[in-house]
Amino acid sequence: MAPPGELSFEQPSGGTLTLRITGSWKLHKDLPSADSLRHQLDQYADLQTIEIDARKVDEWDSGLLIFLGRTLEIAARHDLELQTIGLPDGATRLLQLATAVPEEKGAEREPEQKTFLIHLGDETISFFKGCGDLLEFVGDTVLAITNLVRGKAQYRRSDFALVFESCSGEALPIVTLISFLVGIILAFVGLMQLRFFGAQIFVADLVGIAMFRVMAAIMTGIVMAGRTGGAFAAQLGTMQVNQEIDALKTLGISPMEFLVLPRMLGLTVMMPLLTLYANVMGVIGGAVVAYSEPNITLMEYYHRTVTAVSLWDLGIGLFSSVVFGVIVAFAGCMRGMQCGRSASAVGDATTAAVVTAIVGIIVSTAVITVITSILGV
């Protein structure tokens, strides 16, 4: 084992300060730092040369080169010449390689200190920019749909089939589970109150109307936002990172028509069907709970549901589901297309897509509810 690396200074003579380095200069936490050289330089004025005597260095690796690099910097800052004695050839050449390309001065970055006002300004600007991007995306989508109607859109039929598949059969298990459970929960909560009035049978009204009118559409919307909207954003975002979208553009194929259109239409068409299915599953969930009551039969529950749920309820639910389908597909595709060019940007795009979609779903539910109550339906 070589002795540990050591650094010593000699009394300067004739304007030359000699640094003696000995032992093992392999990278290690106790390796002497070049900073002590600064103290020495402060002590002595009128120095012209720094000399490094490395004849007694036994072994070395990057540790020695880091020391040499810093010494070189310090020497340059003090306008001193650097000389070396007995430096291993390899180290000399590596040092030359390391200093061959000068440091990119403009590239140095200092962390920016932002005042509150600057922050506020930035946020405001980015908010309006976001609104602009949104409008632009809406416009592009409308153009793409126009082209589709005119039969001029460029897309592959098989892409539609893939989106249909992922928004229908593949989504069924999770939609089944969620809507069945929501039906059960609604029935439980309803029964607890209705028992006070001896009106347990009305649990069928409660579950039926709630599911058909809002709950089935909202729950399906949220499930699809997490499942499919997130997937859209991740797919398109990754394509953005891999320059696949650039490749489409340079081929003269509109990514809006080729990628966004099938996804938007596929999800928008499938959402009402999924919601219809969720309605049924919710009612079945409610029936399971109601059946546990002593004086409700399944036939009674069925008749009560059919009487209570009007076509309006069904229609409003299905209309909401179409709106949600548009929102989820729109949020997923827009965030995906706006994605940056790194892995973390894909993650951000996916998160943003899901959040945007869920917020959109809730806000539009509120709007639809207000409008229908004003209209009295």
Partner 1 sequence: MSEEPHIVVDNLTMAYGDFVLMRDLSYTINRGDVFIIMGGSGCGKSTMMSVLIGLKAPAKGKVFFDGQDFWGADADTRDRIIRRAGVMYQSGALWSSMTLAENIALPLETYTDLSARQIRDVVRYKLSLVGLAGFEKFYPSEISGGMQKRAGIARAMATDPEILFFDEPSAGLDPVSARRLDDLILELSESLQTTMVVVTHELASIFFIGNNSVFLDASARTMTASGDPKKLLEETRDRTLQLFLTRGEHPQETK
Strand partners, 13: 16
CB of 358 to partner 1, least distance (A): 25
Phi, psi angles (nearest 5°) of residue 286: -60, -40
Is 42 a binder of partner 1 (CB under 8 A)? no
CB of 293 to partner 1, least distance (A): 55
Which of the stretches 93-101, 118-126, 174-182, 202-210 binds partner 1 when contact is defined by CB under 8 A? 93-101
Within 13 Å of residue 332, how many CA atoms lie on the same side as its CB? 31
Is 93 a binder of partner 1 (CB under 8 A)? yes
User: Of 59 and 133, which CB lies nearer to partner 1 in the complex structure?
Assistant: 59
As given in the structure block, the two tokens for residue 250 are 């340079």
Which of the stretches 91-99, 115-123, 175-183, 256-264 binds partner 1 when contact is defined by CB under 8 A? 91-99
Q: Which of 99, 297, 307, 351 binds partner 1 (CB under 8 A)?
A: 99
Report the distance separating Cα 263 and Cα 261, nearest Å: 5
| Contact status, residue 63 vs residue 5, Cβ threshold 8 Å | yes
Which of the stretches 66-74, 194-202, 271-279, 318-326 binds partner 1 when contact is defined by CB under 8 A? 66-74
Q: Which of 113, 344, 373, 375 binds partner 1 (CB under 8 A)?
A: 344
Is 89 a binder of partner 1 (CB under 8 A)? yes
Closest CA to 288 of 127, 179, 152: 179
| Contact status, residue 319 vs residue 268, Cβ threshold 8 Å | no
Which of the stretches 97-105, 118-126, 278-286, 296-304 binds partner 1 when contact is defined by CB under 8 A? 97-105
Mention every residue, 6+ apart, whose C-beta is less than 8 A from residue 219.
175, 178, 179, 182, 278
Q: Which of 40, 41, 88, 140 binds partner 1 (CB under 8 A)?
A: 88
As given in the structure block, the two tokens for residue 268 are 């928008």
Is 351 a binder of partner 1 (CB under 8 A)? no
Q: Which spans in the chain are helix H? A: 35-43, 62-77, 89-100, 116-149, 157-167, 172-197, 203-210, 216-224, 230-241, 244-250, 255, 261-291, 298-308, 311-337, 343-375
DSSP characters over 183-205: HHHHHHHHHHHHHHHT-GGGHHH
Is 112 a binder of partner 1 (CB under 8 A)? no
Is 70 a binder of partner 1 (CB under 8 A)? yes
| Contact status, residue 263 vs residue 332, Cβ threshold 8 Å | yes
Is 75 a binder of partner 1 (CB under 8 A)? no
Which of the stretches 37-45, 99-107, 160-168, 282-290 binds partner 1 when contact is defined by CB under 8 A? 99-107
CB of 54 to partner 1, least distance (A): 14
Q: What is the amino acid identity at position 143? A: L
CB of 62 to partner 1, least distance (A): 5
Which of the stretches 39-47, 104-112, 170-178, 311-319 binds partner 1 when contact is defined by CB under 8 A? 104-112
CB of 84 to partner 1, least distance (A): 15
Strand partners, 22: 6, 56
CB of 99 to partner 1, least distance (A): 7
Q: Which of 69, 147, 174, 188 binds partner 1 (CB under 8 A)?
A: 69
Residues that bind partner 1 (CB under 8 A): 27-29, 31, 33, 61-62, 65-66, 69-70, 88-91, 93-94, 97-105, 107-109, 340-345
